[in-house]
Amino acid sequence: RRAAALAAAQDECRSADGTRIELFANLGSPDDAVTAAARGAEGSGLVRTEFLFMDRATAPDEAEQRASYQAIADALPGRPIIIRLLDIGGDKPAPYLPLAQEQNPMLGQRGIRATLAHPELLETQLRAILGVRPAGQCRIMVPMIASLSELRAVRATMDRIVGTSGAQVQLGVMIETPAAAVTADLIAAEADFLSIGTNDLTQYTLAMDRENAAVAASVDAMHPAVLRLIARTCSGGARHGRVVGVCGGLASDPLGIPVLLGLGVTELSTTPGFVPEAKALVRRLDLDRCRDLARIVLELGSATEIRARVRAFTQELA
């Protein structure tokens, strides 16, 4: 345990002015957790649990899921692990989930909508996560929230499973629809933390498919509309004292990081390989200067102008 505490102290990330910024990694398998640990990740801000559910004929049972989540927790001892509930549907189909053929799967039964329609999947996954030891290391995150009622439904299920045991597990949400970003203050009143999924937030804000090559060049999270929604999410989270993180691709973008910190984000979850570079960058940033930068870019009219302005900012860094 002393070795783990020492490693944690060495890996702790602060900006140049001493503000604590948690630097986490996104994981898609237990192997990723080993890589993340080697790269100095302070935990995981997003475990994409779809890896357990895709390319197979039946859903994984509670024991199989728990073993995978436990392996991830064990690879990052003493560090927070944010496990995202199944985000299936849309671009991520599963054969045993009888979802109807949909004309617009990205606007249909995906994420928490699909899981709430199959309560046995939700319950099994919650039980598996709640079974990981030590209790509380794993936190739970709900994907694709559009309405507060979805968070309430998940919390009710979790409370029922936890029962009177008194186990404390944080339950947070992803902010990846414009609806969630605009109502972040309402959601933050009932969620333990917020984490912005800039990939989907960009797709749904711009109404541009993130996988469509024809529009790919314009699907930029630095679009002023997306940045304004991130700003709104940060102020909504701050109103209730919640941590606002980013686990979407903008957290792994060197030009995105100064803007995100300036907007009030205090947790970044990047690809495992990018953790050292992200930390090195954060350690050079002064948050007052990032706030000034954020104020400026929020008034610019395009992602291109915003990127040019941020590039000038990073070139001036000592």
Q: Which positions touch ligand PEP (CB under 6 A)?
A: 46, 48, 87, 176, 197-200, 247-248
CA distances to 14, 24, 39, 139, 312 from 11, in Å: 10, 10, 9, 20, 29
With CB under 5 to 8 Å by kind, the binding choice for 36 among ligand PEP, Mg ion, none is: none
Closest approach of Mg ion to the CB of residue 24, in Å: 16
By beta-carbon proximity to ligand PEP, the closer residue of 138 and 268 is: 268
Q: Which does 22 bind (CB under 5 to 8 A by kind): ligand PEP, Mg ion, none?
A: none
Residue 42, contacted partner among Mg ion, ligand PEP, none, CB below 5-8 A by kind: none
Q: Given the complex with Mg ion, which of 30 and 197 has the nearer CB atom? A: 197
| Residue indicated by tokens 């102290």 | 9
x/- letters, 155..184, toward Mg ion (CB under 5 A): ---------------------x--------
Under rule CB under 5 A, residue 202 binds Mg ion: no
Amino acid at 213: A
Q: Which of residues 90-149 bind Mg ion (CB under 5 A)?
A: none
125: nearest Cα among 180, 195, 48, 190: 48
Which is closer to Mg ion, CB of 80 or CB of 90? 90
- Name which position in 200, 220, 253, 267 contacts Mg ion (CB under 5 A): 200
272 binds Mg ion (CB under 5 A): no
For the chain, the residue count is 318
Closer residue to ligand PEP, CB minimum distance, 170 or 199? 199
* CB 180 to ligand PEP: min, Å: 11
User: Which option in ligand PEP, Mg ion, none does residue 198 bind, with CB closer than 5 to 8 A by kind?
Assistant: ligand PEP
Closest CB to ligand PEP among residues 13, 247: 247
Q: Which of 89, 197, 245, 256 is close enough to bind Mg ion by CB under 5 A?
A: 197
Among positive and negative, which fits the CA dihedral 193, 160, 113, 140?
positive
What is the nearest approach in angstroms of Mg ion to the Cβ of residue 270? 15
Taking residue 211's Cβ as centre, other Cβ atoms within 10 Å add up to 11
Least gap, CB of 243 to ligand PEP (angstroms):
16
The footprint of Mg ion (CB under 5 A) covers: 176, 197, 200
